Amino acid sequence: MRPAGLREHRRSDGRQVLPRLLRRESPRTCTYVGGSPVGMYASCGRNLGRRRMFDAMPSRNLVTWIAMLGGYAINGGVGDAVQLFDAMQRSGQVRPDAMITFTCLLPACGQAGLTEQGMYYDVLKSGHHGIAPRMENYACVVSLLGRAGKLSRAAGVGERGTRDS
């Protein structure tokens, strides 16, 4: 959880910067410019503003998808994060990465008690996307299993992670 004052300070700064940014270049025409407000809205907890900006973009890159995914994950929108990840895969615009995409998705599943779904995504990461696990991914799986009380499985994953790294 972030302190409320920090969130309000960021929102205030964003309200000052965003109009200037949008006057220079439309987020509808520039993916990189559009990603900035999406990230800003995510850090402020503003799901509706972030989603409007995201939906208005004609194309999206990995940064904009992750800004949305991470925003939902940190603000408790696990169902939205899962739906967005599935939409990202269907879009064919980008491929998920190990470092950020799955380290947003797996903890979100763990916080919501979606252990089996989180494990499914972990298998999907390696099996379907061919992404080799990193230490951060092992840590996410250990946390996911630990939250579910599956401590022996979590310990096994942790040992495998230290061996593979």
Quick one: pLDDT at residue 87?
92
My answer on whether 98 and 143 are in the same domain is yes
Total of domains in the chain: 2
Backbone angles phi, psi at 31, to 5 degrees: -60, -40
DSSP string, 120-159: HHHHHHHHTT-PPP-HHHHHHHHHHHHHTT-HHHHHHHHH
Q: Is residue 69 part of a domain?
A: no
Distance CA 141, CA 110 (A): 9
55/87 same-domain check: no
Element (H or E) spanning 16, and its range?
helix 4-24
3 pLDDT band, cuts 50/70/90, is: very low
- Alpha-carbon distance of 74 to 17, in angstroms, equals 23
Q: What is the pLDDT of residues 131-144, one digit of tens each?
A: 888 899 899 999 99
Token pair of 100, please? 């950020």
- What percentage of the chain reaches a pLDDT higher than 70? 70
* Statement to judge: residues 51 and 99 lie in one domain: no
pTM of the model: 0.72
Per-residue pLDDT at 156: 93
**Tens-digit pLDDT profile for residues 94-119:** 888 867 888 889 999 998 999 999 99
Whether residues 86 and 41 fall in one domain: no
Give the range of the structural domain holding residue 14, as residue numbers without chain letter: 1-59
